[in-house]
Amino acid sequence: MSNEFVLEEKQAQPVLSIRTRTAVDKLPQELGKAYEAIIQYLNELGEKPAEPVAFAAYYNTDMQDLDVEMGFPVSKPLKGKGEIKSGEIPAGKQVSCMYKGSYSKVEPVYQAMMQWISEKGYTPTGVAYEFYYNSPMDVPESELLTKIVFPIK
C-alpha cells in the first residue's frame, strides 16, 4: 500500500453541517439525508458549496454510536437553519492522504496515518475528516476518491 501523507497548515474553513449520532450501518442514509438538506438550503440562499466536495467529521470510533458531522465547505460564513448549523473546520496543522478505493477498505490507511503521526511526534486532536470527491452512486467502488484528514497538534 503506497500512501503519500501531506503535512500542511490550513486556514479555518467555514462550513454548513448537520451533526448526529448513528450506527455505521445507517451512515450512508444519514449522509445522503444531510447532504440533500444542506444543498437544498444552499439553493434557497442562492449559494453553492465552496467546492463540490462533501465532508464528514468523525468525533469518535464507536461503530454502534458514531458522533458524526456531515456537510459542505462554503466560501463565507452562512447562517444556519434548524438542524443545519454554521461552523468551521478549525485552522491549524493537519496531515492528509488521498485514498482511492472502497470505503470498506480504508482502515489500513487510518492505521498507517496514525503510525506516521506518532512517529513524527504529533498528537491528533481527536477528530478525523473525510472529504468525498465522488459518490458510490456515480463511480465503481474501486474509483472512489476520499481525502482523509487528521488535524494535529
The model's confidence at residue 52, banded by pLDDT at 50, 70 and 90, is confident
Rg of the chain (C-alpha set): 15
- The owner of cell 456515480 is 138
User: To 10 degrees, the CA torsion angle through 124, 86, 146, 29?
Assistant: 110
* Range of the structural domain that residue 14 is part of: 6-151
Q: For 92-134, what is each residue's pLDDT tens digit?
A: 999 999 999 999 899 999 999 999 999 999 999 999 999 999 9
Residue 1 domain-assigned (yes or no): no
Counted domains in the chain: 1
What is the CATH number for 128?
Answer: 3.20.80.10
The model's confidence at residue 137, banded by pLDDT at 50, 70 and 90, is confident
Is residue 1 predicted with pLDDT exceeding 50? no
pLDDT for 2 equals 56
- Let me know the angle formed at the C-alpha of 52 by 141 and 64, rounded to the nearest 5 degrees: 55
Residue 97 domain-assigned (yes or no): yes
- Distance between CA atoms of 1 and 109, rounded to whole angstroms? 8
Q: For 54-86, what is each residue's pLDDT tens digit?
A: 999 999 989 999 999 999 999 999 999 999 999
- The owner of cell 467555514 is 14
